[in-house]
């Protein structure tokens, strides 16, 4: 039996019977966008977990990057004993995990619900996106989206990189990759494996290319409904890390791996659809496209509320190192048609018309970033927000335009004070994420960095 793409339970049963699938991974995205979960014996999954789900400790929605339980959350804490949440497999996401080292695994993404009531856990990232998709549906829209994820590939394996303190890593190329077929060919054993395994896993790939960095690349996934697109995004990252590990390589999705090098972005393309037609299309000329009032107001909301939701686009301390003028990363809030210096770039025409949000970095959690875009755009529709005039020219040189927030501290303060974010997310979820981002900033504030040692150890 050919093993490719998404699976029904019936097909999974046949593959299990033929010995083609032995393991099923049940996973959910945490606050950072990492996949957490369990590996099941395939037969047990089919007999029990596919129907009944499974449990996980609720602390997984309150830990830091090092998996330490963080005090101060109302949702889960030592006082409450760190109980369980219930994981309900979304069987529409069941697919082969063709990249898995044993090539006999499937994976399914689960929704996180309360253990007793089975109500959705509101602060789980996938549930936050689903809430915004429901809000769009109530207005008669569906959302289509795609992520363009950039990453750096290194010949230094993860284990050696860790022992070196992530210093002196060997990139996979020694001159800039951008669109360069020869230089990119040297990484084809990795990139071709990624394209092949993603396709076999039901994650269609459009193309891959070198990017503007030593060893930097991009693989573009096909456009899809927004929830499916976010699912593909997190599976893509997991797949590339595992494939790199298998080949004694390493990849990083840090927004800014090193000063002086290009940052890694996650350009998000989005459009609203209604009755099978792109609702952004209309009669008003913009560049080579014709747009509707829906497009205009959605874009107006995106721009106005970008600072309120900046933490969802740029969630780490490192995210903000990427926002440098003349670096291909946006530094100011403006929009243009097919202009890569703008934070919001309008591309396509007809049913391909879409807004490209160039603010998020490759470290973004896609469920939160997509939710932020939908929430902002829907508010734009509701409030009939007009975007500023279209900008033509070099946005980097336009000093009069408002800048994006410059640090996680600043972005967290704006988010914490935002009545809009509180209303969109609800007070409980808003407070949960305020604490999450404040904790991340505090951890950095207390850390002593290599930069400080290099600068001050001897010469101060």
The encoded tokens of residue 67 equal: 């998996």
Q: Provide the domain limits for residue 426.
A: 135-455
Is the residue at 256 inside a domain? yes
72 and 150 co-located in one domain: no
- In terms of Cα–Cα distance, which of 271, 267, 269 is closest to 350? 271
Q: Which of 67, 84, 117 is the last residue of a domain?
A: 117
Do both 264 and 158 map to the same domain?
A: yes
CATH number, residue 450: 3.30.590.10
Q: Tell me, rounded to whole angstroms, the distance of Cα 329 from its chain centroid.
A: 16
- Report the CATH number that the domain containing residue 74 is assigned in CATH: 3.10.20.70
Are 383 and 266 members of one domain? yes
46 part of a folded domain: yes
Task: Work out how many domains the chain is built from and give that number.
Answer: 2
Question: Do 225 and 186 sit in the same domain of this protein?
Answer: yes
Predicted pLDDT at 175: 79
Give SS3 for 194.
Answer: helix
Q: Are residues 238 and 315 in the same domain?
A: yes
- pLDDT at 1 (0 to 100): 45
Does one domain contain both 75 and 160?
no
Note whether 343 and 426 are same-domain residues.
yes
Same domain, 140 and 43: no
Under 8 Å between Cβ of 209 and 182: no
Contacts of residue 434, Cβ cutoff 8 Å, sequence gap at least 6: 412, 415, 416
Residues 21 and 170 in one domain: no
Residue 199 lies in a domain: yes
Local confidence pLDDT in tens for the 460 residues of the chain: 456 789 999 999 999 999 999 999 999 999 999 999 999 999 999 999 999 999 999 999 999 999 999 999 999 899 888 899 999 999 999 999 999 877 799 999 999 999 889 999 999 999 999 999 999 999 999 999 999 999 999 999 999 999 998 998 998 888 777 887 888 888 889 999 999 999 999 999 988 877 888 888 988 999 999 999 999 999 999 999 999 999 999 999 999 998 888 889 999 999 999 999 999 999 998 878 899 999 999 999 999 999 999 999 999 999 999 998 877 788 889 888 877 878 899 998 889 999 999 999 999 999 999 999 999 999 999 999 999 988 888 878 788 888 889 999 999 999 999 999 999 999 999 999 999 999 999 999 999 999 888 898 888 8
| Same domain, yes or no: 14 and 90 | yes
Whether 460 is in a domain gets the answer: no
Structural domain ending residue among the three candidates 67, 87, 117: 117
Query: Residue 112 pairs with which residues in a beta bridge?
Result: 87
User: Is 239 inside any structural domain?
Assistant: yes
Task: Give the pLDDT confidence score for residue 415 in this predicted structure.
Answer: 98
Can you give the pLDDT at residue 251? 96
Q: Tell me, yes or no, whether 196 lies in a domain.
A: yes
Closest CA to 270 of 311, 204, 225, 239: 225
Q: Is 162 contained in some domain? A: yes
| Same domain? 111 vs 144 | no
Q: Cα–Cα distances in Å, from 276 out to 140, 279, 294, 297?
A: 11, 9, 15, 20
Q: Could you tell me where the beta strands, DSSP code E, fall in 33-94?
A: 35-41, 54-57, 84-89
User: Are residues 87 and 227 located together in one domain of the fold?
Assistant: no
Does residue 145 sit within a domain? yes
């Amino acid at each position: 039996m050919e093993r490719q793409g998404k699976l029904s339970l019936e097909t999974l049963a046949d593959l299990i019977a033929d010995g083609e699938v032995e393991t099923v991974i049940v996973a959910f995205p945490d606050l950072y966008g990492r996949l957490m979960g369990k590996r099941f014996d395939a037969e047990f999954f089919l007999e029990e977990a596919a129907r009944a789900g499974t449990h996980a400790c609720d602390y997984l929605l309150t830990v830091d990057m090092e998996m330490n339980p963080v005090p101060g959350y109302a949702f889960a804490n030592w006082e409450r004993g760190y109980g369980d949440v219930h994981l309900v497999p979304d069987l529409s996401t069941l697919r082969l995990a063709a990249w898995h080292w044993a090539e006999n695994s499937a994976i399914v993404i689960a929704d996180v619900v309360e253990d007793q009531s089975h109500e959705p856990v509101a602060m789980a990232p996938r549930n936050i996106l689903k809430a915004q998709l429901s809000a769009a549906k109530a207005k008669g829209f569906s959302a289509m989206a795609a992520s363009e994820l950039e990453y750096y590939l290194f010949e230094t394996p993860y284990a050696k990189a860790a022992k070196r303190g992530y210093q002196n890593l060997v990139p996979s190329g020694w001159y800039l990759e951008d669109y360069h077929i020869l230089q990119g060919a040297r990484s084809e054993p990795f990139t071709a494996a990624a394209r092949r395994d993603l396709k076999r896993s039901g994650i269609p790939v459009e193309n891959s290319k070198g990017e503007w960095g030593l060893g930097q690349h991009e693989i573009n996934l096909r456009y899809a409904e927004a929830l499916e697109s976010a699912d593909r995004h997190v599976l893509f990252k997991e797949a590339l890390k595992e494939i790199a590990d298998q080949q004694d390589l390493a990849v990083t999705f840090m927004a800014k791996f090193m000063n002086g090098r290009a940052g890694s972005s996650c350009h998000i393309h989005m459009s609203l659809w209604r009755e099978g037609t792109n609702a952004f299309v209309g009669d008003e000329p913009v560049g080579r496209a014709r747009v509707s009032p829906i497009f205009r107001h959605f874009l107006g909301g995106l721009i106005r509320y970008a600072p309120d939701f900046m933490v969802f686009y740029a969630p780490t301390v490192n995210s903000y190192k990427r926002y440098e003028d003349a670096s291909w990363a946006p530094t100011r809030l403006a929009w243009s048609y097919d202009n890569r210096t703008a934070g919001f770039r309008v591309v396509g025409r007809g049913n391909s018309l879409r807004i490209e949000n160039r603010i998020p970095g490759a470290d973004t959690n896609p469920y939160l970033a997509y939710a932020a875009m939908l929430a902002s755009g829907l508010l734009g529709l509701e409030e009939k927000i007009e975007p500023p005039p279209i900008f033509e020219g070099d946005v980097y040189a336009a000093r009069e335009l408002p800048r994006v927030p410059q640090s996680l501290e600043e972005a967290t303060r704006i988010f914490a004070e935002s009545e809009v974010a509180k209303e969109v997310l609800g007070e409980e979820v808003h407070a949960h994420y305020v604490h999450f981002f404040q904790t991340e900033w505090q951890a950095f504030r207390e850390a002593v960095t290599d930069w400080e040692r290099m600068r001050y150890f001897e010469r101060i």
